[in-house]
Structure 1
């Protein structure tokens, strides 16, 4: 006998949870589409060289990689951004640029499972490809904001940075050759703390460089604005600073400053990010991790063709949202009312007439399929959580409240429909 079990980091989903997920996906798809983003899909499997084209590093350790029956080196997609880059390179003539897409699907990463982090999970991606304008970055940030609002999540902060700010500073202090290492290391601060990050940086950089870097990122003197502090160091003509100021001025003019914050610690771990990056945290639950992240990747698409095409995008962590009790309360997903019909061999025609009548007004109906004893059917109905049940008796119906254990007999089809419609739908 085979022991039924699930691989670590993977999960089965019970019907209630899957219904909840499907409703969230439907809401997000509607929100993305309303913002002008078009749906696409890509294969689960890609050639490994496609996925590792530039990310490498930690990604190579995390992907599920194998040789297929044709001895091809393939891997399961670890995100939806890299496959999208390959997709755009192959279809850009059909699509036209700029192109706004969304893609909601599963991805796989062989990383250590922990709260809010699994090896198989959904991503909800939205990208704008073919524009390097700050307006494109703003479009992505506002789409992230509007999508979370659509879900009923209102208490969050979108923390924004520009990787170019740190790159410009490293050029200024003569440490630009360590840019990739420093960006990856700084990205760990919220997880491991400033001291551990400082010690990691000290393995490659001199104490003087590390101290200068920390004074730039975390000034000891009190500053009114970190962005203005960095402007004073890099100058008013810094391209990255100007980019950030355009975005935050727009956010201010839209009266959304409460939802956005500049945070120079946000660098994002993947190397394909080149400019604006962001992460989103629930108010009061930062330990959950970011629920929506992304950024600009100006060079990613050049891996798959001679033309360099700019892109910027974001991704909502659906599974992470659904593991948060706070999010579940905010999502406010309601299930449609459900009614149970007892099996009656002689009443198939009546039963299906009733089923259709109830379905037309938005009530889910389930008729027990087998001619079992009433007690067995009742136990099933209670276990499934039905609050209302219907017996077919001759040409009439009995409506039973399973919670109150009260019945109303000798009802017509119209009377049953009317009562349930009034009770459930008002």
Structure 2
């Protein structure tokens, strides 16, 4: 009979020992930074109702979710996003908590990422959410927390680009397009497809001055000074100018923290997440062609759960962050001293105090389960054991030389 082969589904992966050690180090450091900024950890369930994520202004594409039917006939999904469950928890279970409310999490999310060639389906996200701060102070704090969190791990060449959903929405409102045409142009804008945008502008007879800005938007990115200076040469509505002023103030606050060197602006930034309402941002490093960080303001989301509360936050994709740190050779797990205790003629209780003392020093201490000297030597080499010892009845430790 042919032996059955077991394969992993597309888009998921096993993590072996070294990768698990790296992930633990990264997540612990991120959580430490979050805690230092006053954020408190909570967790949401893996399974949620499908409707939670598909009613506007939730996620844009329900086809990318993993669905199932529960015993009551309700459609469930494996959590495709962390922000929406956080908003649900706050509105239904933490409404009377002290505000501003600072929450953080480390969770798995499950959805098909069609933007990446490998189409990952399971991600590890670490993020924070700030509820109850409507001013640019909240946007600035979220950005600073995100940047500080990544820098605490030694990430280099970080670029964080900012956009503003109100700038785009105000501009598209001035174009007076049908919804279908608007969505087509937004998709082209997300793809930076200038030719396609030019064709759509001609087809829909967009006024010349507005068409000039529309066609320029895919390339309207760069340093804050460059972009803000250029966009002022176009005809802007009052709402567009207000959004730009918010961007400017947010950037100035981040600069006061000494972190302005990594900031840029992308006025053509479009998000697949429909709940964003204000400043949005994406972070990446030139060493990895993928977005590591994303976030922004979502002031209307909690209203879907009956609570009037402003909010902003971000998520870091731990899988991609780990890959970037590996490429930069900036992530290492310090090796702990590894001690192997040779089989003792005394019972474990008699040597327990000595073993506990060794472990209290931060060492890895394990009892040898092998008897053959050659196998013990091989085990020590392959597990990188530093010392082989025997504990005497009086508790003294004797080092053993296996050479």
> CA separation in 2, counterparts of 1:11 and 1:165?
39
Give the Å deviation of 1:96: 3.4
Which of 96, 99, 112 aligns to 1:97? It is 99
Residue 293 of structure 2 is matched in structure 1 by 292
Which of 246, 265, 281 aligns to 2:284? It is 281
Gap change, CA 1:342 and 1:30, over 3 Å in 2: same
Which of 32, 39, 50 aligns to 2:52? It is 50
Alignment deviations for residues 75-111 of structure 1 (CA, whole Å, 9 cap, x no partner): 1110101111111110233423331110111111134
How many residue pairs match? The answer is 393
Question: Which runs of structure 2 are paired with 1:143-162 in the superposition (5 Å)?
Answer: 143-162=145-164
Q: Which has the higher contact order (CA 8 A, sep 6+)?
A: 2
Residue 303 of structure 1 is matched in structure 2 by 304
When normalised by structure 2's length, the TM-score is: 0.86
Residue 111 of structure 2 is matched in structure 1 by 109
> CA separation in 1, counterparts of 2:123 and 2:218?
33
Alignment deviations for residues 121-167 of structure 1 (CA, whole Å, 9 cap, x no partner): 21111011122211111110011011112212243111111122222
- Show structure 2 runs of 5+ residues with no match: none
Which of 257, 261, 280 aligns to 2:260? It is 257
Residue 324 of structure 1 is matched in structure 2 by 324
Q: Report SS of the residue matched to 1:104.
A: strand
Alignment deviations for residues 359-382 of structure 1 (CA, whole Å, 9 cap, x no partner): 1211111212x3532222222222
Structure 1 residue 241 corresponds to structure 2 residue 240: no
- Show structure 1 runs of 5+ residues with no match: 407-426
Q: Which has the higher helix share?
A: 1
> CA separation in 1, counterparts of 2:202 and 2:400?
73
Gap change, CA 1:333 and 1:318, over 3 Å in 2: same
Alignment root-mean-square deviation, CA: 3.1
Greater mean deviation of Cα atoms: 380-389 or 139-148? 380-389
8 A Cα contact 1:79 1:123, kept in partner:
no
Alignment deviations for residues 154-201 of structure 1 (CA, whole Å, 9 cap, x no partner): 431111111222222223344485555444442233xxxx34653785
Residue 226 of structure 1 is matched in structure 2 by 227
Q: Report SS of the residue matched to 2:90.
A: helix
Residue 13 of structure 1 is matched in structure 2 by 15
Alignment deviations for residues 400-424 of structure 1 (CA, whole Å, 9 cap, x no partner): 57xxx76xxxxxxxxxxxxxxxxxx
8 A Cα contact 2:340 2:387, kept in partner:
yes
8 A Cα contact 2:342 2:388, kept in partner:
yes
> CA separation in 1, counterparts of 2:198 and 2:111?
28
> CA separation in 1, counterparts of 2:329 and 2:161?
23
